[in-house]
Amino acid sequence: PSYFRIALHFNIVKFPENAYLDYSGTGWKCSRGFEKVNKTCSKINIPANAHLAEWKPGWECERGYVADENRCI
């Protein structure tokens, strides 16, 4: 767990595996390659001909391929 200070005491922030404390210090976000599912971080399934997106959550198709549901064709 991580801690943050409020007035004269500390609160515990619990977060799941593959997560980190967010910038506010009061919550958490999933690490790159993982997405929030309920109160856990689940690994993102990347289909063939795709890669993790750099500027948005999830994945995107390689150049020359287009997304079709959960695959790149």
Predicted local confidence at residue 2, as pLDDT: 66
Tell me if the pTM is above 0.75: no
- pLDDT per residue over 36-65, tens digit each? 999 999 999 999 999 999 888 899 999 999
SS3 string of the chain? CEEEEECCEEEEECCCCCEEECCCCCCEEECCCEEEECCEEEECCCCCCEEECCCCCCEEECCCCCEECCEEC
